[in-house]
Amino acid sequence: MKARKIKDGIYWVGAVDWDRRLFDDLVPLPDGTSYNAYLIQGSEKTTLIDTVDPDMAYILLSRLKELGVESIDYVIANHAEQDHSGTIPQVLEQHPQAQVVCTPKCKKMLLDLELAPEDSFLTVDDGETLSLGDRTLEFIHAPWVHWPETMLTYLQEDKILFSCDFLGSHLATTDLYVTDEGQVYEAAKRYYAEIMMPFRKIIQKNLKKVQEYEFSLIAPSHGPIYDRPEFILDAYQDWVHSEPKNIVVLPYISMHGSTREMVEHLVDALIENGVTVKLFNLAVTDIGKLAISLVDAATIVIGSPTVLAGAHPNVVYAAYLANALRPKTKFVSIVGSYGWGGKMVQQLADLISNLKVEIIDPVVIKGSPKGEDFESLDKLAAAIAEKHKGLKK
Ligand code: FEO
């Protein structure tokens, strides 16, 4: 398989995983993904930036072979997760002299994962440089994008940032560079929501750090390369810094129609109050779409019937997920019904304890919604709209 030339001495040697539909057996990948690895030839040293998922090791090795790479001096491990580090053993088998370059924390993790022997490591500090002869690598420690050991690698002369997971997108494509910004925006936002959003505060700092550099390209380890770097930097700036928007995300389940009737009424009432609603029936929704919508929403309203004294299990999962993803949401409410009793509201409130939100009075009713219940939903919509008026533009 052929490597793809970025410029003289710099090649993409990764693998496109068209068929993968789930990452970590958790994250949906509707558009597949790629594991990008890059080869950089300096006048004196040759380096590989990250490797690929071990299932696709043969692709990376075949691209290196096709390029005629005889010797690799350094393997940069920006991140220890196996979709980037998992082929280090095969690379070291062919190039036993290569040093694995990474942060001290990454070294410990790679040793734990038994991906490289102790004597192969060269650990680097934040800001440290490594000469390849006529080219220089600079290492930027960027913890928690999205593991504690992560770093980025900046190729100084060519102004290329190899950002690994940071700024990436799960997207299988033959495009080496972004050609359809709308498509990549959606994939990158999904990636941010599912992988990066829990670390938003730290990402704010890392984003500030990288914005001090000048870039010709940003080359992540998932998805196409950004030849217009401001596209993804501006998107991240919005996602991590902007105030939440006038949006309600409404994930719900209805077993016999009562909760659905309430939800439909609430949606209409919110629309009348000028609020945008993103509705997700959790029986059928792509949980990644729900995650994307959480990036911007000022309010989450959870809709659930009562099952065995608590919320429906799909709703419990969605609440747990929202709590783990830590969006910048400011308000939460709950709507739903019960047959004879239960503790659904308390259970859901306990599940979202990470979210720094104000709870707006829930509307939880007995049986099917009636006249006064619809009035309560109207009041809830009005209360949400009023809260949203206080959002900064
Ligand atoms: Fe793409 Fe955190 O691995």
83 C-beta closer than 6 A to ligand 1: yes
Work out the number of other CB atoms within 10 angstroms of the CB of residue 282. 21
What is the model's pLDDT at position 287?
92
Q: How many angstroms does the Cα of residue 297 sit away from the middle of ligand 1?
A: 26
* Residue 102 structure tokens: 């990474």
If 0-12 CB within 10 Å is exposed, 13-18 middle and 19+ buried, where does residue 125 land?
exposed
Report the length, in residues, of the chain. 393
pLDDT digits (tens, 9 = 90+) for 315-345: 999 999 999 999 999 999 999 999 998 899 9
Give the span between the Cα atoms of 61 and 58, in whole angstroms: 5
Q: What tokens were used for 248? A: 């309600």
Q: What is the distance in A from the centroid of ligand 1 to the CA of 374?
A: 46
- Residue 341 is predicted with a pLDDT of 86
Q: Which atom of ligand 1 is nearest to the CA of 222?
A: 1
63: number of CA atoms within 13 Å, CB side?
22
Residue 157 structure tokens: 């002369």
Ligand 1 geometric centre to CA of 7 (Å): 26
> How remote is the CA of residue 167 from the centroid of ligand 1, in Å?
11
**What would the two tokens of residue 315 be?**
């709703």
Assess contact for 220 and 168: CB atoms under 8 A: yes
The CA R_g of the chain, rounded to the nearest whole Å, is: 24
Distance (Å, rounded) from C-alpha 15 to C-alpha 13?
7
pLDDT for residue 393 is more than 80: no
Q: How confident is the model at residue 392 (pLDDT cuts 50, 70, 90)?
A: confident
pLDDT tens digits, residue range 194-215? Answer: 999 999 999 999 999 999 999 9
- With a 6 Å cutoff on the Cβ, whether 53 touches ligand 1 is no
CA distances for 296 relative to 89, 140, 277, 334, 364, angstroms: 41, 29, 12, 19, 26
Alpha carbon of residue 297 to chain centroid: 17
